[in-house]
Amino acid sequence: MAQSKNLTESLHASGRRLTRQRQLVMQVLQDNPGHLEVEAVYALAKASDPNISLPTVYRTLAVLKEMGLVKGHTLGESHAHFEAAPETPHYHFTCLICGRVVEFDAPQVKQVVHTLSRREGLQVTDVHLFLSGYCAKCRTGGTQVKSNI
Protein backbone atom coordinates (compact mmCIF):
# COMPACT_ATOMS: atom_id res chain seq x y z
CA MET A 1 0.00 0.00 0.00
CA ALA A 2 2.75 2.48 0.94
CA GLN A 3 4.64 1.63 -2.25
CA SER A 4 1.56 2.37 -4.36
CA LYS A 5 1.16 5.71 -2.57
CA ASN A 6 4.86 6.44 -3.21
CA LEU A 7 4.40 5.69 -6.92
CA THR A 8 1.34 7.93 -7.16
CA GLU A 9 2.98 10.80 -5.28
CA SER A 10 6.21 10.54 -7.27
CA LEU A 11 4.41 10.53 -10.60
CA HIS A 12 2.23 13.49 -9.70
CA ALA A 13 5.21 15.43 -8.32
CA SER A 14 6.99 14.97 -11.66
CA GLY A 15 3.91 16.03 -13.64
CA ARG A 16 3.19 12.50 -14.86
CA ARG A 17 -0.01 10.51 -14.69
CA LEU A 18 -0.52 7.23 -12.87
CA THR A 19 -1.42 4.85 -15.69
CA ARG A 20 -2.45 1.24 -15.23
CA GLN A 21 0.66 0.18 -17.20
CA ARG A 22 2.97 2.08 -14.85
CA GLN A 23 1.15 0.65 -11.87
CA LEU A 24 1.36 -2.87 -13.31
CA VAL A 25 5.09 -2.72 -14.14
CA MET A 26 5.85 -1.38 -10.66
CA GLN A 27 3.71 -4.12 -9.11
CA VAL A 28 5.55 -6.80 -11.11
CA LEU A 29 8.89 -5.54 -9.79
CA GLN A 30 7.64 -5.31 -6.22
CA ASP A 31 6.09 -8.79 -6.31
CA ASN A 32 9.15 -10.46 -7.85
CA PRO A 33 12.25 -9.70 -5.81
CA GLY A 34 15.44 -10.17 -7.69
CA HIS A 35 16.72 -8.77 -10.94
CA LEU A 36 14.34 -9.16 -13.85
CA GLU A 37 15.27 -8.71 -17.48
CA VAL A 38 12.89 -6.57 -19.54
CA GLU A 39 11.44 -9.65 -21.24
CA ALA A 40 10.61 -11.19 -17.85
CA VAL A 41 8.92 -7.98 -16.69
CA TYR A 42 6.97 -7.96 -19.96
CA ALA A 43 5.90 -11.61 -19.64
CA LEU A 44 4.72 -11.14 -16.05
CA ALA A 45 2.90 -7.90 -16.91
CA LYS A 46 1.31 -9.48 -19.99
CA ALA A 47 -0.04 -12.31 -17.84
CA SER A 48 -2.06 -9.68 -15.96
CA ASP A 49 -2.79 -7.42 -18.94
CA PRO A 50 -2.69 -9.08 -22.37
CA ASN A 51 -2.85 -5.66 -24.05
CA ILE A 52 0.42 -4.33 -22.64
CA SER A 53 3.20 -4.09 -25.23
CA LEU A 54 6.95 -4.58 -24.96
CA PRO A 55 7.66 -0.95 -26.01
CA THR A 56 5.32 0.21 -23.23
CA VAL A 57 7.28 -1.85 -20.70
CA TYR A 58 10.56 -0.36 -21.97
CA ARG A 59 9.19 3.20 -21.75
CA THR A 60 7.68 2.57 -18.33
CA LEU A 61 10.91 1.16 -16.93
CA ALA A 62 12.79 4.19 -18.29
CA VAL A 63 10.36 6.59 -16.58
CA LEU A 64 10.40 4.70 -13.28
CA LYS A 65 14.20 4.49 -13.38
CA GLU A 66 14.50 8.23 -14.09
CA MET A 67 12.29 8.87 -11.07
CA GLY A 68 14.44 6.66 -8.83
CA LEU A 69 11.68 4.12 -8.20
CA VAL A 70 13.44 1.40 -10.18
CA LYS A 71 17.10 0.46 -10.41
CA GLY A 72 18.72 -1.04 -13.49
CA HIS A 73 21.89 -3.13 -13.26
CA THR A 74 23.90 -4.83 -15.98
CA LEU A 75 25.31 -7.44 -13.58
CA GLY A 76 28.17 -8.19 -15.92
CA GLU A 77 25.98 -8.63 -18.97
CA SER A 78 25.23 -6.43 -21.96
CA HIS A 79 21.60 -5.88 -20.98
CA ALA A 80 19.89 -4.49 -17.91
CA HIS A 81 18.18 -6.26 -15.06
CA PHE A 82 15.60 -4.31 -13.08
CA GLU A 83 14.39 -4.25 -9.51
CA ALA A 84 12.20 -1.96 -7.44
CA ALA A 85 14.50 0.56 -5.78
CA PRO A 86 15.38 -0.77 -2.34
CA GLU A 87 14.83 1.38 0.73
CA THR A 88 18.41 0.82 1.82
CA PRO A 89 21.37 0.61 -0.56
CA HIS A 90 22.76 -2.77 -1.48
CA TYR A 91 25.38 -3.96 -3.91
CA HIS A 92 25.92 -6.94 -6.18
CA PHE A 93 28.40 -9.74 -6.77
CA THR A 94 27.99 -11.81 -9.96
CA CYS A 95 29.65 -15.18 -10.55
CA LEU A 96 31.39 -15.20 -13.92
CA ILE A 97 30.60 -18.88 -14.48
CA CYS A 98 27.06 -19.58 -13.28
CA GLY A 99 25.76 -16.01 -13.25
CA ARG A 100 24.59 -16.22 -9.63
CA VAL A 101 23.94 -12.77 -8.16
CA VAL A 102 24.60 -12.14 -4.48
CA GLU A 103 23.23 -8.96 -2.94
CA PHE A 104 25.09 -7.55 0.02
CA ASP A 105 25.12 -4.53 2.32
CA ALA A 106 28.28 -2.50 2.78
CA PRO A 107 27.80 0.34 5.28
CA GLN A 108 31.47 1.22 4.76
CA VAL A 109 30.62 2.45 1.26
CA LYS A 110 28.46 5.21 2.74
CA GLN A 111 31.39 6.36 4.88
CA VAL A 112 33.78 6.35 1.91
CA VAL A 113 31.31 8.38 -0.17
CA HIS A 114 30.79 10.83 2.68
CA THR A 115 34.56 11.30 3.17
CA LEU A 116 35.19 11.71 -0.55
CA SER A 117 32.29 14.14 -0.95
CA ARG A 118 33.49 16.29 1.93
CA ARG A 119 37.14 16.24 0.83
CA GLU A 120 36.49 16.95 -2.85
CA GLY A 121 33.33 19.06 -2.56
CA LEU A 122 31.29 16.51 -4.52
CA GLN A 123 27.57 15.90 -4.51
CA VAL A 124 27.17 12.16 -5.09
CA THR A 125 23.71 11.26 -6.35
CA ASP A 126 24.11 7.52 -6.88
CA VAL A 127 26.58 4.77 -6.04
CA HIS A 128 27.18 1.59 -8.01
CA LEU A 129 29.40 -1.11 -6.57
CA PHE A 130 29.60 -4.19 -8.74
CA LEU A 131 31.85 -7.11 -7.91
CA SER A 132 32.47 -10.10 -10.13
CA GLY A 133 34.36 -13.31 -9.61
CA TYR A 134 33.61 -16.92 -8.77
CA CYS A 135 31.11 -18.20 -6.23
CA ALA A 136 32.05 -20.94 -3.77
CA LYS A 137 30.25 -23.64 -5.79
CA CYS A 138 32.05 -22.77 -9.03
CA ARG A 139 35.40 -22.44 -7.26
CA THR A 140 35.07 -25.93 -5.79
CA GLY A 141 34.27 -27.13 -9.29
CA GLY A 142 37.89 -26.57 -10.23
CA THR A 143 37.95 -22.94 -11.32
CA GLN A 144 41.04 -21.27 -9.96
CA VAL A 145 41.65 -17.90 -11.54
CA LYS A 146 44.18 -15.37 -10.37
CA SER A 147 42.62 -12.29 -8.79
CA ASN A 148 43.35 -8.77 -10.01
CA ILE A 149 42.97 -7.44 -6.47
113 within a domain of the structure (yes/no) = yes
Q: Is residue 103 part of a domain?
A: yes
Domain that holds residue 131: 91-140
Contacts of 6 (CB under 8 A, 6+ apart): 69
68, 118, 75, 67: which is closest to 96 by C-alpha? Answer: 75
How many Å apart are CA 25 and CA 60, to the nearest integer? 7
Note whether 77 and 97 are same-domain residues.
no
The tens-digit pLDDT sequence of the chain (149 residues) is 345 557 888 888 888 888 999 999 999 999 987 788 899 999 999 999 999 999 999 999 999 988 888 888 776 666 788 888 877 777 888 888 888 888 788 888 889 999 999 999 999 887 878 888 999 989 887 655 666 66
Q: Record the pTM.
A: 0.66
